[in-house]
Structures are given as structure tokens and as C-alpha cells.
């Protein structure tokens, strides 16, 4: 049976809930309609999240993104709605959604929204040397 647009986000159990790890998605063909002109708006959506107990299933995410194709929405509103829907479905420890909207009227727009689970503290980032660079301990 062919796919079709859907607002349903399917989830599955996190296979490693004891560990913080990053899930990174890029959605280069997101489309919705300008609520004022009805013309299409296009964006690259970048989704980064640290799962807690569940993850989002990719086919349902694709169909969810597709469901906005014929809906009118301001950039800020649709970006926040997508974050709310995703965090409501999977309840991650952390999620960041960056929406890079392609040029319209000579203006590029980027909207960045975040969610953090109450009490979650990220681990300190690991600083690795650049290729060919000696580690700090050898300088």
C-alpha cells in the first residue's frame, strides 16, 4: 500500500536508554504554504535529539512532514508546532529543531527551537584534536 500524509508519529523503544546519544535528521524537502499568498515555502529542517525512552520511526516522520505540504503556516508557527508534536510523541531528553527557510522576497529565515527535559544535564563535550594536531597533553 502506498504511503500518504499523516499527522501520526510512530515510536519505538530506545534500544540504549542508559546512554545519551544523538539522533540527527535532515529533511531537505519540507514544504508548506504561505498563509498570506498561498505560494509554497520550502525549508531544510534539521532535527537533533537525545532520546529518553523512545525514538521516532522514520517512515512516520516522512509522512508527518509530508502532511504540511498543503497547509498554510508562518515559519515560526510551523517550526514550533513540529517541535511540540515531536517532543509530545517521544518525550526526548533534548531536542533542537532548526528550520532554514529558502529565500522568499530576498530574505532567508532561520528559526531555531529547543526542548530540554526538566533536570536533564548534558555530558561535557569531548574535545578531540584536529587531524594531524598533537593532543594538548603532548604540547
Task: Please identify every residue annotated as catalytic.
Answer: 34, 41
> Distance between CA atoms of 84 and 114, rounded to whole angstroms?
10
How far is the CA of 20 from the CAs of 25, 39, 106, in angstroms?
17, 41, 40
Cell of 4: 500518504
> Distance between CA atoms of 93 and 32, rounded to whole angstroms?
28
98: part of which helix (H) or strand (E)? strand 94-104
Taking the CA atoms of residue 36, residue 42, residue 22 and residue 57 in that order, the dihedral angle to the nearest 10 degrees is 90
Amino acid at each position: 500500500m502506498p504511503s500518504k500524509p499523516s499527522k501520526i508519529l510512530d515510536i519505538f523503544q530506545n534500544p540504549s536508554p542508559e546512554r545519551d546519544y544523538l539522533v540527527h535528521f535532515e529533511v531537505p524537502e519540507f514544504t508548506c504554504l504561505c498563509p498570506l499568498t498561498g505560494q509554497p515555502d520550502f525549508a531544510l529542517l534539521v532535527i537533533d535529539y537525545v532520546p529518553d525512552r523512545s525514538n521516532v520511526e522514520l517512515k512516520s516522520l516522512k509522512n508527518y512532514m509530508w502532511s504540511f505540504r498543503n497547509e498554510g503556516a508562518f515559519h515560526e508557527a510551523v517550526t514550533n508546532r513540529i517541535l511540540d508534536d515531536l517532543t509530545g510523541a517521544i518525550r526526548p531528553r533534548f531536542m533542537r529543531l532548526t528550520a532554514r527557510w529558502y529565500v522568499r522576497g530576498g530574505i532567508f529565515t532561520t528559526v531555531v527551537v529547543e526542548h530540554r527535559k526538566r533536570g536533564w544535564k548534558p555530558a561535557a563535550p569531548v574535545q578531540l584534536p584536529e587531524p594531524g594536531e598533537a593532543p594538548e597533553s603532548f604540547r
